[in-house]
Structure 1
């Protein structure tokens, strides 16, 4: 969900043909198709305090913590290895994949049911009704209203006789069981595939507690793998989204990061050393998500479910918050079980989000819990809400404090934008705080907290604050300089620091607290509002800061092993996977779409002022590079402008900044390419990328918009010679009235090494930095000016061999429909004809002769799915609509075409 570039952008991933690494549970089951990565013509011919986690898991019984033969795991789970024994051959014979069940024994002789111990065959839990179920004739409903009309009322589960009927809409990859206040209300009638979606209705008083068991099914039992991507042992992925409506049809709850989620079975694990635990977090982010070669050696990690995990009284406060995932990451926008019901799941005001635990791919059995609905009170009036939420468009799914909000941000850092919803009734005002505990053991003693942002007397009509907002409410004092202002976090040393932003819904009116801003610190504020607090919403963030003014972020050596090299990609494991063979590292991108926040300044395509007519189409691509580089004795002219030079850590290729003037042109050192500079010509968007002639998104500078949450001690990218590219400088306005690359956030940021800054060890013509001053090792640094990323390879590179040829349209589409002299001014999703479309807004310049002056045009596109007239299961097909007047919402004059590749 998260429709604006959180953003791989809704409706683009769509399963990524039949080869998406994360199509998991399931794609079609037939993964023989392959996709070659696109190349880019790139020519001018085509239009200070250390914090650590703390806390008891509070998760009930756990395994015995088998450390394994290699002694590399010491967590709370139980370790199993190899393939389980099948006990049930197939729960659902009609399914497109075998939904088997088995058991496997750990080293302590405890037996575990895999993939999970479900109630699929237990009649005490009813099957959910259908929204979309291809296995039941006539149950492929085209919309929610049709599905609801087919129900006769016998499906309603009564929990409270004086309650109201709540309707839940669920899409789960793959299987779910739902409880409300501890009562079993419905289970998935299809345990594996084909994909289905469901309705569950129950009569209950609000608010109520929803608890769900979620299972990502597996085909090779005990290993978390399935037959996908040409491998019998590929890791699948999960994901669940739900919407809850009351008897009036109003949405009273959706899945989001306010829910809790905990994993109880993680696999496949190749190396146990990749597992870790931090407080209640069961972490596997550094574990490989690639296909397994030796299935007998694969590990699984298991934890026992708490016995009363589904009850309303169960204490889930120590569980981690659910992690949200985009439609693209889960891969649902080509599945009618989802797309037929986007009006429910993608509601403009209450957009539900896909949730799971922290690893969408490796966590196979996940329990989630959430409180839904409002307390109607004795008088029938609405007196509260169980869905008070706080979000920020500036915060990505990694929940890292954006750099712009730290002391290293522009102007010393500004507060992030906030939005809240679902506040309790009776709110007369709001207050806000942001704090951090240097010592986690002091978490309940706010006198020991560092306070950065304190505001009260925020009017009750307020539901958002803009970036750097200072005119709403009364500022209290921070603990950094005791001033009435936002104080940007500025930790003295690297290491994760946790920050909490809280919005308090108050029953006290503005000006009634009796506070004076100049003497109101965090403790004073909390004491004053305690009797008036109706509810709170929090946003939990983290940040590890590296001071640009010292060299703590500068690498000491170049990674020359698979483990150390692949570490740069670990923070982006939802977008890329890494595998190694011999001296070759392969990086597979899941979507070819960038990882961005929801801020306007991070929207892809926006800012392009010289458009070649292309749009970003998602693909799965694999790039290769040497693990151990072979250095060249000096800079050489060795970059082929036509091909990519490297790949970013989020899986986006990077090309040379110049447009080629001839096939296979080699970029010459010392040559002035300013007349062909894609940056100066305005051909790339505000984050440095665009869609090339393969409709592939790629960069022509370093991926500067990653820097809002990227660790500067880690590479931004790896080049095809095996050398890393780090952020040095970047962004800014390069031409008069030109695009502001990075939206003003990064041009003052300088992470270049000190000896580069002082000129004693400058970057060479390749933008390479001599790490030790003796020519033994080099790394690259980005620069604000050309060559932006690299000017040449400083080590041997098989550039063309790293970039296979890409797909093309069988029949080329219209690239000249909008005419010349246009700018791209928006990129988002829209609903049209009952379908979700991507769109790019096109604004004409003075000399444009196609778009009427004062009007804006749209190019709309979506991947065709089963049931569409032009759908071809053996090709990647898209529908395009060219709309010269965006106000023509009926599409009366649209030009429509379909294209396959």
Structure 2
């Protein structure tokens, strides 16, 4: 209540036999109490009123001395006996034995490595159409729980709570809440008008919309277990539901999430925009450590001006949801798969700015442009080709037409701007758009090889109207970012109004003074998507991070008649894990159309490529390396005629990398 967190909150204040021993755990427990710690009933939990009266009660004070000078002027409870009774009820609820091991989760949550899960953008007012209600799941509820309650509230700066939703009388057998759907129980509608409910998609969900510039707000989901229904109807308010849950629930299990938001005023005033383009070793490290769960090592060397990152997994931090599945959205597929592999990059620590844009990126499309903060290599947007350029001399003024080689327009990258290249890993040909579900827009989404940060400006959506789409031989209809981020525009306000536009490199002149304040790159919906050239000197091309890339001992054959690595005309529809013959496989589903159908597939018939890692039960298992079984299924409904092959890797895939797949621990 006094605003203390982390170590300052718990220092010298925990019992020797405490169950909760970290500041984050204690905060989560307190947040889970919601408005029940508003002892005097004035609508907010205050340190100098509610906090002191609780403290006095625990010290044994009663009657008038319990409440003297600590009751708020606008309190609704004044009587010491009533206040004592309320504290007793609160103590009974918090001291009761744990009746279950319930755990709340969501398929939209990402384990970044921070203390709190980041609340996805879609569940806030900044989401599409003003946001939608969350997808949640839970397990481990008590056998005594015949019914459940589920709430979400935000923790305001003064310690009070604002509820986003309250659902009660959920049958105890239910274990999931679908996105945008409250039909599993009764939702409290008493705090919203019918117009507000209609605007929220017909459900009583008040999407959180924090004010301010970069304000971190905590959002608490709480699952309540009950042994009977609440005698409430849909006209109940959140306060009604809270009062009933506090007195009737068997237990309350919270999970705390967080979100950093910049409101419209903050964005208009460029409060999310960097003041210069140079970051120290500590600052860059902190940006990558926002996603520390992904990274194996982060190092700086001031003497060589190098900053290196090695990440456990090449395809970054993605959920298993359809809107983030790898390969999905590709319509010109070379048959490669995203096998588990490390990734890494070395970039300049301190930028050395150039005076103007120049032609200084890879002509064959293979040169590394940068590295995302969640561990994805970024390459130029155009595909490999033998054009007139040589080495690293291509760029915006080289006279080349890149529209016909634009991997995004041609449908060669997935909904997250990435694909698996020859080598079966994963990399991006645009900005890491699928990171924007959890990312703070004031922080870089990547650092480029020249050490200059890349921020999210705009990206995503369909691209039929982009400049390259007007002249390309074919144009994909993929909705990049699955339509979840195309409405966002975090570009600086002077970029938006055209008074200080991005240059040909997609670089923003931060203060209009060139190399003095420096540059920052911003992503765009049109090519080059990430950057079109470097505005800083890059490191020597031989400087690489020591990532352990997964390499097969031999090429895959694929289907009979297929040349893996050559593009075929199919739509990649899904990429997920599933069971076959009792084993877990990664399953990639592809659908041929009616024209240019590969000889080994059938028009309009779903095909599948399955792969898994062999285990000790397999005859071909080799403990000294990692071996993959591949299955090629021309018709997903016919499972007894798969073509198969088994190929091992040159060296074993590390356990930390496998832990990001269904084949790890």
**TM-score in terms of structure 1 length:** 0.55
Alignment of 1:328-347 (within 5 A): none
**Aligned to 1:850, which of 594, 597, 600?**
600
- In structure 2, distance between residues paired with 1:636 and 1:816: 44
Higher helix share: 2
Alignment of 1:282-681 (within 5 A): 386-398=100-112, 399-425=117-143, 429-439=147-157, 442=159, 448-458=160-170, 462-469=174-181, 471=183, 473-477=185-189, 483-484=196-197, 485-493=204-212, 494-509=214-229, 513-517=231-235, 520-547=236-263, 548-576=267-295, 577-581=297-301, 582=303, 583-640=305-362, 641-662=365-386, 666-669=393-396, 671-681=400-410
- In structure 1, distance between residues paired with 2:284 and 2:172: 51
**Aligned to 1:879, which of 629, 640, 645?**
629
Does the 8 Å CA contact 1:817/1:882 hold for their aligned counterparts? no
**Aligned to 1:814, which of 528, 542, 557?**
557
Which structure 1 segments of 5+ residues have no match? 1-48, 62-181, 183-210, 212-259, 263-276, 283-315, 321-383, 443-447
Alignment of 1:19-418 (within 5 A): 55-56=9-10, 60=15, 278=23, 386-398=100-112, 399-418=117-136
Shift in alpha-carbon separation, 1:816–1:654, aligned structure 2, 3 A: farther
Shift of 1:789: 0.4
Shift of 1:755: 0.8
Which structure 2 segments of 5+ residues have no match? 33-97, 198-203, 465-474, 563-567, 651-665
**Aligned to 2:525, which of 784, 804, 809?**
784
Does the 8 Å CA contact 1:56/1:280 hold for their aligned counterparts? no
2:505 maps to which residue?
766
Shift in alpha-carbon separation, 1:317–1:841, aligned structure 2, 3 A: same
Shift in alpha-carbon separation, 1:688–1:527, aligned structure 2, 3 A: same
Shift of 1:656: 0.8
**Aligned to 2:458, which of 710, 729, 747?**
729
1:712 maps to which residue?
441
Does the 8 Å CA contact 2:591/2:605 hold for their aligned counterparts? yes
Per-residue deviation, residues 307-359 of structure 1 (Å, max 9, x unmatched): xxxxxxxxx96999xxxxxxxxxxxxxxxxxxxxxxxxxxxxxxxxxxxxxxx
Does the 8 Å CA contact 2:409/2:476 hold for their aligned counterparts? no
Q: What RMSD in Å do the two structures reach over aligned CA positions? A: 3.5
Does the 8 Å CA contact 2:554/2:647 hold for their aligned counterparts? no
Shift of 1:496: 2.4
Secondary structure of the 2:541 match is helix
Does the 8 Å CA contact 1:646/1:720 hold for their aligned counterparts? yes
Give the count of matched residue pairs.
Answer: 536
Secondary structure of the 1:800 match is coil
Shift in alpha-carbon separation, 1:560–1:505, aligned structure 2, 3 A: closer
Shift in alpha-carbon separation, 1:860–1:798, aligned structure 2, 3 A: same
Shift in alpha-carbon separation, 1:450–1:480, aligned structure 2, 3 A: farther
Higher strand share: 1
Shift of 1:281: 8.4
Q: After alignment, is 424-433 or 584-593 more displaced?
A: 424-433
* 1:699 is the counterpart of 2:428: yes
Shift in alpha-carbon separation, 1:880–1:281, aligned structure 2, 3 A: farther
Secondary structure of the 1:675 match is helix
Secondary structure of the 2:451 match is coil
Shift of 1:817: 5.0
Does the 8 Å CA contact 1:626/1:722 hold for their aligned counterparts? yes
Shift in alpha-carbon separation, 1:632–1:876, aligned structure 2, 3 A: farther
Does the 8 Å CA contact 2:340/2:550 hold for their aligned counterparts? no
Does the 8 Å CA contact 2:411/2:476 hold for their aligned counterparts? no
**TM-score in terms of structure 2 length:** 0.73
- In structure 1, distance between residues paired with 2:507 and 2:162: 40
- In structure 2, distance between residues paired with 1:699 and 1:590: 16
1:348 maps to which residue?
none
Secondary structure of the 1:885 match is coil
Does the 8 Å CA contact 2:336/2:420 hold for their aligned counterparts? yes
Per-residue deviation, residues 794-841 of structure 1 (Å, max 9, x unmatched): 111136334589775442112565863222222222344554332222
1:793 maps to which residue?
534
* 1:744 is the counterpart of 2:483: yes
Does the 8 Å CA contact 2:149/2:170 hold for their aligned counterparts? yes
- In structure 1, distance between residues paired with 2:442 and 2:4: 19
Secondary structure of the 1:554 match is coil
Per-residue deviation, residues 226-272 of structure 1 (Å, max 9, x unmatched): xxxxxxxxxxxxxxxxxxxxxxxxxxxxxxxxxx886xxxxxxxxxx
Relative contact order (C-alpha < 8 Å, sep 6+): which is higher?
Answer: 1
- In structure 1, distance between residues paired with 2:192 and 2:262: 19
Secondary structure of the 1:565 match is helix
Per-residue deviation, residues 419-453 of structure 1 (Å, max 9, x unmatched): 2334344655543321123257x5xxxxx321122
- In structure 2, distance between residues paired with 1:478 and 1:667: 62
